Amino acid sequence: MATSDRDRLSDRLFAAKSALVIAHIMPDADTLGAALGLGLSLRSLGMTVHLACADPVPTELRFLPSAQEVQPRLYAGEEIIVTVDISDQQRIGMLYDEKIFSTVPVLVIDHHITNTRFGALNWVAEVPATSEMILELLQAHNVTISLDAATCLLAGIIGDTQCFLTSNTSPSSLIAAAQLQELGAPLREIATTVLNRRPTSALAVWREAFINACQEPGIILTTLGSAFLRSVSADDSSTNGLSSWLAGLDGVLISAVLREADDGSVDVSMRSAPEINIAVVAQNLGGGGHPQAAGCVLAGPLSSASERLLAELRPLTARPAPVEELVH
């Protein structure tokens, strides 16, 4: 049988004595769940593991076991670098160093169709969550999964499937979740925390987003300025769930939340109805993601970023022109 990407990657992974495991910028439950689930499990095998992320762990995800270990730490001589849930180098943020990433073996484990395969070994699978891939990897290697690791992995699956509600939720996700629950992972506590818990700043941020929302046929778009975000001490995670909520409004096929950063760049979070693929749009604009959940970073100001985005989105929502009656 031909060796699969997973097996090639796992052979190198389990042969290492030390690893730096990196989660993506503005971390969510899946990247943290995958990093922690993998890191804790590798450590139980005797490997030295350091966990890194360029941005802080959001308050609502600090319940994840060992979350405090995830720090903006630089490469410190580990044998390999493992990136989880990261589709391209930009998502590593300030921890990316071209020289180090071209000399140390980089193992990429990810589930984004837009993944650029920037590692020496790349395993990219079409499953709803990277955490599900980590579970598969550990099971294939007969690694005993602790309650802490199971909790992290279940949080990742619940986060990316919005508790099994996204259109890509597969039987494999439900089976993985059931196995993790059997290991003791508290499904209800994880789901309510990951999906419902938000920083206090979310109230002011969502209010502003609703006020600024603009609609046109099939599209809803809203903007959040950096001066406003600073004035309410907004956390990065204050907009979590906002683009999904907007996409649920009647008649909306695509939602977009544009958030201006302090450096003037604009972070875009998009969601779409199942018949519309916004991963393509995000990729055309230098970002990436999934067909129904994608994002990118655009140049500011907010007004020109909005126009640039709308120019890409409008053709996707245009209804086909009525077919003219054939005259015989």
Binding residues for ligand 5GP (CB under 6 A): 87-88, 91, 112, 243, 269, 287-290, 293-297
Of 5-13, 124-132, 233-241, 260-268: span binding Mn ion (CB under 5 A)? 124-132
We find the least distance from the C-beta atom of residue 37 to Mn ion, in angstroms, to be 13
The one-letter amino acid at 324: E
Does the protein bind Mn ion through residue 148 (CB under 5 A)? no
- Give the DSSP H or E segment for 220: strand 219-224
We find the least distance from the C-beta atom of residue 325 to ligand 5GP, in angstroms, to be 43
Residue 156 vs 218, nearer CB to Mn ion: 156
Contact status, residue 247 vs residue 293, Cβ threshold 8 Å: no
Of 8-16, 30-38, 97-105, 134-142: span binding Mn ion (CB under 5 A)? 30-38
- Residues with Cβ within 8 Å of 27's Cβ and at least 6 positions away in sequence, in order, are 53, 55, 57, 58, 61, 70
**Beta-carbon count within 10 A of 48 CB:** 13
- Give the DSSP H or E segment for 103: helix 98-103
We find the least distance from the C-beta atom of residue 80 to ligand 5GP, in angstroms, to be 22
Residue 293's binding partner among Mn ion, ligand 5GP, none (Cβ under 5 to 8 angstroms by kind) is ligand 5GP
Number of residues that bind Mn ion (CB under 5 A): 4
Question: Closest-CB residue for ligand 5GP?
Answer: 295
Does the protein bind Mn ion through residue 208 (CB under 5 A)? no
We find the least distance from the C-beta atom of residue 181 to Mn ion, in angstroms, to be 20
We find the least distance from the C-beta atom of residue 270 to ligand 5GP, in angstroms, to be 7
- Residues with Cβ within 8 Å of 268's Cβ and at least 6 positions away in sequence, in order, are 256, 257, 258, 259, 282, 285, 287, 295, 296, 297, 298, 305, 309
Q: Comparing C-alpha atoms, which of 118, 140, 141, 105 is closest to residue 24?
A: 118
Integer CA distances (angstroms), 192 to 174, 186, 201, in order: 17, 10, 19
Question: Closest-CB residue for Mn ion?
Answer: 30
Contact set for Mn ion, span 289-318 (CB under 5 A): none
Which residues in this chain contact Mn ion in the complex, by CB under 5 A?
A: 30, 85, 130, 160
